[in-house]
Amino acid sequence: EAGVTQFPSHSVIEKGQTVTLRCDPISGHDNLYWYRRVMGKEIKFLLHFVKESKQDESGMPNNRFLAERTGGTYSTLKVQPAELEDSGVYFCASSQRTGNFYEQYFGPGTRLTVT
Amino acid sequence: GENVEQHPSTLSVQEGDSAVIKCTYSDSASNYFPWYKQELGKRPQLIIDIRSNVGEKKDQRIAVTLNKTAKHFSLHITETQPEDSAVYFCAASSPSGTYKYIFGTGTRLKVLA
């Protein structure tokens, strides 16, 4: 079974620019989560989708971040305009909606550097 | 708010020795506690997990213990090997929190050959 994939693996942009990160969850996983790890700190929750609906976006830092999951398959996370403090590794994870829904499968992450 | 504290932040052990990483959580509704291992440049991988109705779980050289009263849980790795070197994250999950994970800050484990 294919795992969670993320694109791009790395992105370097200048402050003020826009970046869009993409996550493809495991096929059939209704739950999709976005997390972020800023250098040396914990992996922090950003938001949670169930299919195309946002269930919890309490972790989104501010309105410069916009997440979508149209059609309930892949998700995108757009940062516009990017600031220096947005640098970090953005992880996506997915899980089943039934059965062992606790276990989240992580993607390899997108390393975002804002200069 | 909810948080998970993890100690130590770095840990060096000799090959063959044991390693213990400890976490404390704040949300008493948490009922699922996974441990992830992240090797350099790779994705976090689940290595073991425990639910709140169990006090201990073991899988070969890895074990996790949970003390619900004290809100502590720990990862124990015995007979460490160089390939155990990685960053380990503990997390807590609660049904009241849409099952999102609250992570600790990670422990960088180095196993010295």
pLDDT tens, position by position, B38-73: 999 899 999 999 998 889 999 999 999 999 999 999
- Beta bridge partners, B23, equal B6, B73
Q: Has residue A39 got a pLDDT over 90?
A: no
Task: Using the CB atoms, write b or e for B72-109: b if 16+ within 10 Å.
Answer: ebbbbbeebeeebbbbbbbbbbbeebbbbbbbbbbbeb
Structure tokens, B11: 């840990």
> Distances in Å between the alpha carbon of B82 and those of A25, A39, A86?
31, 24, 34
In the block, which residue shows the tokens 């099952």?
B99
Interface test with B, best of A104, A105, A111 (most B CBs within 10 A): A104
Q: How many other β-carbons are positioned within 10 Å of the β-carbon of residue A62? A: 8
Interface test with B, best of A58, A106, A111 (most B CBs within 10 A): A106
Q: What is the pLDDT of residue A2?
A: 77
Beta-carbon-side half-sphere exposure of residue A104 (alpha carbons within 13 Å):
31
Q: Has residue A48 got a pLDDT over 80?
A: yes
Q: Has residue B98 got a pLDDT over 90?
A: no
Q: What is the pLDDT of residue A97?
A: 80
Chain A residues in contact with B7 (beta carbon < 8 A): none
pLDDT interval class at A1 (50, 70, 90): low
- Residue range B80-109: average pLDDT? 93
- Residue range B69-94: average pLDDT? 96
Rounded Cα distance, B23 and A108, in Å? 24
Nearest to A101 among B6, B36, B99 (CB): B99
Q: Has residue B97 got a pLDDT over 70?
A: no
Q: Has residue A37 got a pLDDT over 90?
A: yes
- Residue range B3-20: average pLDDT? 97
Rounded Cα distance, B85 and B62, in Å? 14
Rounded Cα distance, A66 and B67, in Å? 39
Q: What is the pLDDT of residue B92?
A: 96
Q: What is the maximum alpha-carbon separation in chain B?
A: 44
Minimal CA separation from B17 to chain A, in Å: 26
pLDDT mean across residues, chain B: 95
pLDDT tens profile A55-114: 999 999 999 999 999 888 999 999 999 999 999 999 999 999 877 778 999 999 999 999
B103 at A interface, C-beta within 8 A:
yes
B33 at A interface, C-beta within 8 A:
no
- Residue range A19-38: average pLDDT? 96
What are the phi and psi torsion angles at B29 (to 5°)?
A: -85, -5
Q: What is the pLDDT of residue B105?
A: 95
What are the phi and psi torsion angles at A73 (to 5°)?
A: -110, -100
Minimal CA separation from B99 to chain A, in Å: 7
Q: Do B32 and A101 touch (CB under 8 A)?
A: no
Q: What is the pLDDT of residue B57?
A: 95
